[in-house]
Amino acid sequence: MPDLRADQAHGARIYDYILGGKDHFRIDRDAGDAALAAWPALRVHMPANREFMHRTARYLAVEKGIRQFLDIGSGIPTSPNLHEVVQDVAPASRVVYVDDGPIVLVHAQALTEGTPEGRTTFIDADMRRPEEILNAPELLDVLDLTEPVRDEDIAMYGGVARKP
């Protein structure tokens, strides 16, 4: 079990708290309440952010034929997760999740249970070191980086999508 650092508020758990999840500590709720006091509309913005991710991912899968997704800063699993959205419309979709939150690692299993046709995996990494993400064996096992990356494929906040 990783050290969850329950003495220190963490972005993934604060987000979970504001979204109405259950994976947070007192210190995260306190930080979340302080954020909400300063910016009450966060209660609306954060679920809207989540819904935007769903719409964008579905659009890329359905309208653009994207089948490979790299979700950096995936957060604590919140259904539907990215792989559930894209594999619902394109079961062979491949998804790599990346986060550096220890609590996210605890839940990584939920992010790797995709369709039999598709692939999903989780990498514990820091987005400030992108080369570690792009060279991770787990990523190279799931995503085909020999495919060209086109500008219009780079779409989601925190995510990179590649043509199938």
Residue number with CB closer to ligand SAM (158 or 164): 158
Q: From the list 34, 48, 62, 127, which residue makes contact with ligand SAM (rule: CB under 6 A)? A: 127
Q: Please report whether residue 57 would count as binding ligand SAM according to CB under 6 A.
A: no
Residue 42 as a binder of ligand SAM (CB under 6 A): the answer is no
136 binds ligand SAM (CB under 6 A): no
- Contact segment (CB under 6 A) with ligand SAM among 11-19, 21-29, 57-65, 136-144 equals 11-19
Beta strand 68-72 with 94-99 is parallel
Helix, strand, coil percentages (3-state) for the chain, rounded to 5, are 45, 15, 40
**For residue 9, what are the contacts with CB-CB under 8 A and spacing of at least 6?**
27, 28, 30, 31
Instruction: Give the three-class secondary structure for 2.
Output: coil
Show the site string, 80-99: x = touches ligand SAM by CB under 6 A, - = not: ------------------xx
- In 10 A of CB 124, how many CB atoms? 16
Give the nearer residue to ligand SAM in terms of CB position, either 57 or 90.
57
